[in-house]
Structure 1
């Protein structure tokens, strides 16, 4: 018994040294130190599952292929000329600091001439995706966090098998945890038709603890590099028929055409390279020159635990800090951390119209009360909070100043910023932003706006739930 205690104490000291060397935030480091030294065995086990800093200890290193090298060279050359190039659109020059931030942090340049259509909710999204899939002649690349068997999955299977028989290359990448209910029967039925299928970070015994907390939350469909789709919508029937507990499931997705699709294809190709251990997608045949007549300037922002910087957190922070008139945020999981919370408070106190729209209902008890634990501070500083009463609002949308819109897979929480692989699209587009602003205002009118003085009178039991949930926020 004494030997076991000594060994435990030595291991705890080693973990303390690791936390002090590689911890990201003091609050998170302190929370883990308390857990390790006050919860015997359990605290240490939780740290191995949830706590390790993958940004300082790279989760994986992508192979430096010629295609990646050429792409990065293009990024750096663009960065050097972006200030002086007379062909650079005015919308880019106006937001030059944000553009450069994303180039440096996420390695994606803005692209021009894109056709982008926001797709509201599941029915419109899957109608557009299936229509695009039917046009495939060369390849189809599909990636989802949740790929759940049901009517939608069967429709995917029918179309994908049909395309594979026509000679189209078909690849499916799913997250092994998010799609854990996907059966071997379904997967094997696709593989039997020549479709390549891989799970991202399968939960194998040897690396279970090191991988379970780092998930691929991206949703991507690329068809011949002509069509691209991304956003918050997974493959699950609840996006069509609703959820028995939460009701209708509301979300936002994007249909992309133009050069921006090549950026989305790059994200898929790098994830595929990691999951399949093959670089076969990192070559020019999967990247097309586009001549669409669209007018949207857009930029992909991808981030993950292997990234040098928290690119999506920096995107959100920059939009809030640079706003002149308003920032409207729709997101189900708003656990922003101190920096983003402070940014929202400072903006609101400075007279910027900061509004948050989220559901009254939540799919997680802990997340619900952790989110609500920051309401009082935000309301006190003038942030307006609206609770949508009908169903579950799963959209991840930020719009600002009738000029900027970002839609994607990333929530406004530490998990999306630090632990998940995410992808967003930032659009420098007045027409799209203005349209989504009107939709946002309509949804706010349907919602219940919180009042600061009334919120202060909430029951003590609710305050207790918020306080208990807030304890876990540094490690969520």
Structure 2
């Protein structure tokens, strides 16, 4: 083989040399890809040991259910799982026509069994019950738990219908989160009159040991949640499952709307409502997030707001249930703190809420985290509400959570160990996946 780069210079390269170079390059690429995965594995193992020694079981402040009227719809904020589950079960047990339940995680424990029995009882008395659950999120739950009595699911008339969102999706092997994301939504709609949405999954752990936020609606705005459920059901149902009818709505509620991410349709409004609201802020932005890994635009919007004098605060777990997400979030701390954003780390317990309140007017409560997986990969739903009274309630909740959090300063952060900095750099390539 002759080189054409330098006239008169010949370069003889054997096929064996070419193959060797290719092999070395391939192995180097594999090694580079393996490094962040190995670092994540090491963090996970270390965190499991730490959890045994120091479990996240501390008591934390909660607030009694808070109710405000938004137009013709009554809204109630729940900050304690036991209170929420009591209200949800009361609604299911009082159902007369339909129950629509969609959940990400549904544990086979005391709380999970109580919900299962309440749904069976509703279907047995003739209520039409429709259930959606995510297959991947419940791989550790015995498959038998999701079996329901045959006389309700197979006999005629069928009153209980179950849709399992598949555990394996076509984009998984190609790491395409749009085609491999999960059904991360948590919705309950009863008789088209009562609806619930928020961060709570179903399980005993979440009843008392996790701080989360859910919202109950009663009134015409429940259509927003019903419509979200119906559209998802009809798109993903198997042929043997019935089509649910879209009843439409005569009420237009621009001050209370559901934003629904549907990645297979390239619809991602939740990210848009965050960006629009942050850009409008003139006083304060209060964000509570379980996993805070902002993309470039959201990060830029928060920093821009802080530069113009907006009080930007983020509450997130000091330790969450996903240590890799924690370490990926750490990679943004220096930029946020230097840019004037205040970070508060929730102590002793897991905070799982996905909420924000801006300028005492705008509120969102829902299922989406501020990370790439939620904002561009998963099916999610967030309510967007413009109402000063509800925003005031949510600011009270935010201040309550700050009372159980410590503020992280830039001085403290810059004193972290060199090993911690190396760890953050090693797992940074995983950001596109989360």
Range of TM-score over shorter length: 0.7 to 0.9
TM-score (norm 1): 0.72
CA shift for structure 1 position 35: 9.8
* Larger-Rg structure: 2
Q: Equivalent residue for 2:103?
A: 144
The 5-angstrom pairing of residues 91-106 of structure 1 reads none
Q: Equivalent residue for 2:191?
A: 224
Name stretches of at least 5 consecutive residues in structure 1 with no aligned partner. 10-33, 47-110, 242-247
Separation in 2, partners of 1:454, 1:147: 39
* 1:118 to 2:83 alignment: no
Separation in 1, partners of 2:171, 2:147: 24
Distance 1:288 1:128, change over 3 A: farther
TM-score (norm 2): 0.78
The 5-angstrom pairing of residues 32-181 of structure 1 reads 38-39=29-30, 112-181=71-140
Separation in 2, partners of 1:409, 1:249: 15
- Count of residue pairs brought into register by the alignment: 370
Contact kept in structure 2, 1:177 and 1:215, CA below 8 Å: yes
Separation in 2, partners of 1:35, 1:154: 50
Name stretches of at least 5 consecutive residues in structure 2 with no aligned partner. 1-14, 38-69, 154-159
More helix by share: 1
Separation in 2, partners of 1:216, 1:36: 36
Distance 1:276 1:309, change over 3 A: closer
Separation in 2, partners of 1:358, 1:326: 17
* 1:188 to 2:155 alignment: no
Q: Equivalent residue for 2:10?
A: none
Distance 1:182 1:273, change over 3 A: farther
The 5-angstrom pairing of residues 49-448 of structure 1 reads 112-194=71-153, 195-203=160-168, 209=173, 213-241=180-208, 248-277=209-238, 280-284=242-246, 297-448=255-406
Distance 1:37 1:300, change over 3 A: farther
Contact kept in structure 1, 2:347 and 2:405, CA below 8 Å: yes
RMSD: 2.9
Post-superposition CA distance 1:50-99 (Å, at most 9, x none): xxxxxxxxxxxxxxxxxxxxxxxxxxxxxxxxxxxxxxxxxxxxxxxxxx
Post-superposition CA distance 1:427-454 (Å, at most 9, x none): 1111111121122123213321111122
Secondary structure of the 1:402 match is coil
Contact kept in structure 2, 1:218 and 1:422, CA below 8 Å: yes
